[in-house]
Structure 1
Amino acid sequence: GFQNPSQDSQNYHFRFKIALVGDSGVGKSTFLDAISQTLGSVVENEESSELHIKTTFYIDDAYQYKIVYFDMPGKDRHLKYVHKYVNGSTAIIYLFDVTKRQSFERMEQWISECERACETPIKILVGNKIDIMNQPVGNSNSPNKKANSLISGNPVTKVEAINLARKYGMDYFETSSIGEASIVQVFDHLFNSLLALIPNPPDPEQLLGKNVVLGQRVLNDVKFKLSLAELLPNYD
């Protein structure tokens, strides 16, 4: 359900941090706008020259989720400190442009820098702008002429992308720079993967190290308080 929840910053059950990582110009901002506006309710939008953060609330089966998306800067100079931004992420979405081979070839640099930060529970590889790849080559008067000019001489194949994803234990998705269907597919996979991190009922011990932040709706739950009381003596 996509109802409008209360916008109290602590009024949720679980909070997830999602980082979007990849070169500049691959469509991260457009992807973020699509995924946040289509799925859930945007409650905060912070933007600086270096970072774009969007916070959404999403309600599903009586649970309320706060999802904070970090759109990471993607220029060369940002590589060396991207690990600071992704630290604590529940999931990282690595995005490249299928029409720009360089954005794909640099993916391993982004991955290795991010993995310096911490072990991220969920990682997804996304090849964006597949709609440009799929357009037929037109003549000089064709409306597709501009799209064709955007494709590099050596676009990324699906097999290459799947192989890279497998190397790092990720699932691979292809998305269009227009239309919502492919974005919904990514979100469904992402959200189901996030839910799989949470034991039912929420067990404090099993949540450790999964980068899932607990909101007041869980912390105030009597059963959870009892579980927490049993766990705390182990940390004296």
Structure 2
Amino acid sequence: MADAYDYIFKIVLIGESAVGKTNIFSRFTQNDFNLESKTTIGIEFSTAKTMTIEDKSVNAQIWDTAGQERFRAISVAYYRGAVGALLVYDIAKLETFQNLERWLRELREHTSPSIVIMLVGNKSDLKHLRAVSTEDAKAFAEKNNLLFLETSALDGTNVEAAFTQVLTEIYKVESQPTPGKDTKRVKPGNGKRIFHMIESSSSSKKARRGCC
């Protein structure tokens, strides 16, 4: 039976270890938060809930990548086909913000130029421990042409909004024809995945058969 989706978009969560990526993932996909959550090892994947955007059903495939340095080689392989990303830092840990340039550079090296990226300052409930100002984060987002929100996976603040904004922007990009573009696309309908492919034609065909 064919999936009843018009679009399926792959979104990756990236950033340093312990910034709350897994709890953002869990809050959005299951409305759950675990104070005892452990560092993600490798990759976690979930087909999240379906949303309706301009009368089209859009399903998000969220990929939670490990932030630890020793797992980054695994993460790189899973950038393939992503059309959206949440670049996450912890507002209470300056180092996680300072390392964003590296994560952003890696993301853009392995994805399409048209990928939609949102900068996410997580743990907004820790205002008393804030080490990264909202102004500095906004400036970074504007400099790098990113969307921006502060979230709290603990109380759910802006988690739904972050994914909704990213999915809406992806839809705007993917639903518009782009004449002369070299990227390979899968046409929407019957739950087909909408992935950007920047490999050769043969590699693209192989990638479209599975979930990257």
Q: TM-score range by the shorter chain?
A: 0.7 to 0.9
Q: Distance in 1 between matches of 2:60 and 2:183?
A: 18
Asked if the contact 2:27–2:153 (Cα under 8 Å) also holds between the matched residues in 1, the reply is no
Find the residue that maps to 1:93 and give its secondary structure: strand
Alignment of 1:61-140 (within 5 A): 62-79=55-72, 82-119=75-112, 120-133=114-127, 135=128
**Structure 1 position 199, deviation (Å):** 3.1
Counterpart for residue 193 of structure 1: 169
Which residue is equivalent to 2:202? none
Partner of 1:22: 15
TM-aligned CA deviation for residue 190 of structure 1: 1.5
Shift of 1:186: 1.2
Structure number having the greater helix percentage: 1
1:10, CA displacement in angstroms? 3.9
1:193 is displaced (CA, Å) by 0.8
* Residue 177 (structure 1) shift: 3.0
User: Distance in 2 between the 1:208 and 1:63 partners?
Assistant: 25
Q: Mapping of 1:206-221 within 5 angstroms?
A: 209=183, 214-216=188-190
Bigger mean CA offset, 104-113 vs 174-183: 174-183
**Equivalent residues of 1:57, 1:64 under 8 A apart:** no
Structure 1 unmatched runs, 5+: 1-7, 39-47, 136-150, 220-236
Q: Which residue does the alignment assign to 1:49? A: 41
Contact 1:14 1:65 in 2 (8 A): yes
The question of whether the paired residues in 2 share the 8 Å contact of 1:124 and 1:171 is answered with: yes
Change (3 A) 1:53 1:218: closer
Structure 2 match to 1:222: none
The residue type paired with residue 55 of structure 1 is: T
Deviates more, 1:113-122 or 1:74-83: 74-83
Return the offset for 1:81: 5.4
Matched, 1:157 2:151: no
| Aligned-residue identity in percent | 22
SS of the aligned residue for 1:36 comes to helix
How far apart are 1:196 and its partner, in Å?
0.9
* 2:158 counterpart SS class: helix
Which of the numbers 149, 152, 170 marks the counterpart of 1:173?
A: 149
How many equivalent residue pairs? 183
Would you say the 8 A contact 1:125–1:173 is kept in 2?
yes
Match of 1:31 among 24, 32, 49: 24
Q: Could you tell me how far apart the structure 2 residues matched to 1:72 and 1:167 are?
A: 25
2:78 match: secondary structure: helix
- Structure with more contact order per residue of length (Cα contacts < 8 Å, sep ≥ 6): 2
After superposition, the Cα gap between the structure-2 partners of 1:215 and 1:195, relative to the gap in structure 1 and judged at 3 Å, is same
Give 2:110's aligned amino acid: A
